[in-house]
Structure 1
Amino acid sequence: MKKLRRAWIYVCAVLISLFAVGPFLWMIATSLKPPGDIYSMPLNYLPSAINTGGYKAMLNPSADDNLNFVKWFYNTTVVSLLTTLFSIIISALGGYSMSRFRYRGRMAIGYLILITQMLPGSLLIIPLYIIMKEYQLLNSHIGLVIAYSTVAIPFCTWMLKGYFDSVSYSIDEAAMVDGASRLVTFIRIILPLTLPGLVVTAIFSFLTSWNEFLFAQTFLSDYGKWTLSVGIASFQGQYVVNWDYLMAGSVMTTLPIVVAFWALQKYLVSGMTAGAVK
């Protein structure tokens, strides 16, 4: 009975894994199909011949005047890294303040931060657009970083507060007794102890800006300043869809995230379970 139950668990795990990985495998297969295979009936699940035209076009902008994948990739990387850095610095300071200091309205501020996560991003477009227009930040990557940070910082602040709460305050007291200032204690002792939590929140902030489409489409108008999400979406026209470009670009956009998850998986597991057991 125990072996049957274990076999059933393995079967369920395999099916769930295939369900999760299936779209990515389908995307890779479609990116390698010749155009005839994409529209063939009955549908070919595997390419009849390997077609790398989409990938060559992505990496060779001169092949198509309307394609600049390398530039979009660079723009997205810069915006995502700046958003992550900006969000983590502010969130770590805010989360530490809410965790360690006792002042009037502390929890009210925390709940207010949490409530902002209940608002859809579409509600923020108009006020953010007006503010950016006022300060001449439209069509700039700095303006986009600020817009992304308004989404990432509240969540990261609340998450990091939980991680800081899991670190005993006696550690802070011991460091300050030894002569360390509050800032030195925060940077050299508390932050290393909460490294898994920092990695998890950093990845969330990075993914928020890497995959975001609505803000990027609204606030960026110049072709050369587009991010990957906007650029790849342009492959889908009103009458024609360049599936080879679309799928190849999507695969190349997804790969950095897959590599990041693989490289940081030990921090992800420990970070997501940090504080679960007191």
Structure 2
Amino acid sequence: MPLVYIAAVLLSLFAVAPFIWMILTSIKPQAEIYSKPLSYLPNELNLQGYKSMLDVRADANLNFIQWFKNTAFVSLLTTVLSLVVSALGGYAMSRFRFRGRMTVGYVILLTQMLPGSLLIIPLYLIMKDYHLLNSYFGLVIAYATVAVPFCTWMLKGYFDSVSTAIDEAASIDGAGRWTTFVKVILPLTLPGLVVTAVFSFLTSWNEFMFAQTFITDYDKWTLSVGIASFQGQYVVNWDYLMAGSVLTTLPIVIAFWLLQKHLVSGMTAGAVK
């Protein structure tokens, strides 16, 4: 057992070390970052990166607050769309018995195996035809194509864990299929919905490739694209880059902290019937 604990501690340190290095680098002066990149504590505290990120008047080349708003808007809209579509699809696959049901399920799962780089050109051509390039709605659709297939299968597992006897009891009480789904089944699968929502939110919050390809206006950039712009061909603004990375990570950490109860129960809710 002691060896297991030691291994767990080492693995935890290995996982946390990049975040600690990111935080320490964000508060170091630019000269010290290059001269002592692996030093633990900075000799001089430098918060210029954070000030430049949070002060809209600090630098005309920085628009972190706007990028943050863009990312939050796109992520929340993607989460809502993914939850609605995947909840309906997962419930249908779990409760309805129709010809080709498993084939449809496998096709949905197969789309999850396709790399994102393979979808860029088809999505770009579709969005060009429908005038969705350089728009938030087009980006939301692109993110939903990645999130919905996996979320549908996740929610199917949670719906399978709810006995069909509950549906029958609600039907005997006079509830229709839609009422049963909204007022009876969804509340019972709340932990699963939370896990699915977090997955959808993270998928869109951290995504870079689609955002860089489909969004061209500077004011419409997301955080991932905006922070990546601090890395130039010859010079990298490490203090800005790391400060932006820390501020981008904070909402995710806060969300996990607030939802940890639902996340733990949600990850195990669909495991046992």
Query: How big is the shift at 1:41?
Result: 4.6
The answer to whether residue 161 in structure 2 is matched with residue 166 in structure 1 is yes
Q: 1:217 is matched with which residue: 212, 220, 229? A: 212
Q: CA deviation at 1:42?
A: 7.5
Q: 1:131 aligns with which of 112, 126, 134?
A: 126
C-alpha displacement at 1:17, in angstroms?
1.2
The alignment status of 1:52 with 2:47, answered yes or no, reads yes
Taking a change above 3 Å as real, the CA distance of residues 30 and 41 of structure 1, as seen in their structure-2 partners, is: closer
The secondary structure found in structure 2 opposite 1:240 is: coil
- Give a deviation string over 1:181-228, Cα, whole Å, max 9, x none: 110100011001001111111100000000000000000000000000
Q: CA deviation at 1:44?
A: 2.0
Alignment correspondent of 1:18: 13
Q: Which amino acid aligns with 1:154?
A: P
What one-letter code is carried by the residue in structure 2 that aligns with 1:80?
A: S
Q: Compute the displacement of 1:277 (Å).
A: 2.2
Question: How many angstroms does 1:62 deviate by?
Answer: 2.0
TM-score (norm 2): 0.98
Q: Decide whether the 8 Å contact of 1:37 with 1:43 is kept in 2.
A: no
Structure 2 Cα separation of the partners of residues 268 and 10 of structure 1: 24
Contact 1:88 1:202 in 2 (8 A): yes
Residue 97 of structure 1 pairs with residue 92 of structure 2? yes
The Cα of 1:63 is off from its aligned counterpart by 1.5
Tell me if structure 2 keeps the 8 A contact 1:76–1:227.
yes
CA distance in structure 2 between the aligned counterparts of 1:55 and 1:87, rounded to whole angstroms:
33
**RMSD of equivalent CA atoms:** 1.0
Task: Choose from 230, 243, 260 the match for 1:265.
Answer: 260
Flag structure 2 segments of 5+ consecutive residues without an equivalent.
none
Which amino acid is 1:260 matched to?
A: A
1:106, distance to aligned residue in structure 2 (A) = 0.5
Indicate the residue corresponding to 1:108 in structure 2: 103
Counterparts of 1:247 and 1:202 in 2: how far apart (Å)? Answer: 27
Q: Quick one: distance in 2 between partners of 1:213 and 1:277?
A: 36
Q: Does 1:119 align with 2:114?
A: yes
2:59 pairs with 1:64? yes
Partners of 2:7 and 2:261 in 1: CA distance: 24
Using the TM superposition, give the Cα deviation of residue 52 of structure 1 relative to its aligned residue in structure 2, in angstroms. 0.3
Aligned pair count reads 273
- The 10-residue stretch of structure 1 (8-17 or 201-210) with the greater mean CA deviation from structure 2: 8-17
Give, in angstroms, the shift of residue 65 of structure 1: 1.3
**What does 1:129-208 correspond to in 2, within 5 Å?**
129-208=124-203
CA distance 1:42–1:121, shift in 2 (3 Å): closer
Contact 1:28–1:251 (CA<8 Å) still a contact in 2? yes
Structure 1: gaps of 5 or more residues: none
1:20-39 matched pairs, under 5 angstroms: 20-39=15-34
Q: Normalization by structure 1: what TM-score? A: 0.96
**Which digits, 9 at most, give the CA deviation of each residue in 1:100-158, with x for residues without a partner?**
00111111000000000110001111111011011110000000000000000011001
State the SS of the aligned residue for 1:96. helix
Counterpart in the other structure of 1:80: 75
| Structure 1 residue runs of 4 or more that deviate by more than 3 Å after TM superposition | none
